[in-house]
Structure 1
């Protein structure tokens, strides 16, 4: 059995590799991504890719402008970290 995302993106907007991430980022952010990836030790590269993949997904989110406006207006719904941790544990998902 494999774990599936709760809200899968079909097809995924940003491929989970360096090329896909770089293509989704704009100029300065793309350069910062490459700088961090090239400076990372081999054991750190996965973390760099994971972090920048999240950034690229946010940058390409079709609802991104609406979410940003809601966050700035203070109307964006929030969830406590403790609630998220409890939900992941109940679902049998890892908590790092």
Structure 2
């Protein structure tokens, strides 16, 4: 018996490595990612991975349309840094 949820919530998690990012992208986007990563200097590679990881994560999010529309309309709920730190403390997470 598995403890995995039948319907996971939220976007699919994309590993923050070249293989995970490439697997989440399709067609031309994957080729663009590989091309950019191949020409990146070693000290630039981390930035390329982080930038494309964000794009891959967004591409894997089936609810991205409404989420992007809310963000572009300036209606995305926000939280202050102080409130976020308090939430992390309350949850026993490092701050």
TM-score computed with the length of structure 2 as normaliser: 0.62
**SS in structure 1 of the partner of residue 16 of structure 2:** coil
Q: Gaps spanning 5+ residues in structure 2: where?
A: 1-8, 89-94
RMSD: 2.9
Q: Structure 1 residues 47-56 or 60-69, which shifts more?
A: 60-69
Q: Is the 8 A contact 1:58 1:64 kept in 2?
A: yes
2:30 maps to what in 1? 30
1:66 is displaced (CA, Å) by 1.6
Q: Deviations over 1:15-47 (max 9, x none)?
A: 111010001011111000000000000111111
Q: Which residue of 2 aligns with 1:6?
A: none
In structure 1, runs of 5+ residues without a counterpart are 1-8
Tell me the distance in 2 between the aligned counterparts of 1:20 and 1:37: 14
Higher relative contact order (CA 8 A, sep 6+): 2
Distance 2:83 2:58 in 1: 22
Distance 2:66 2:28 in 1: 23
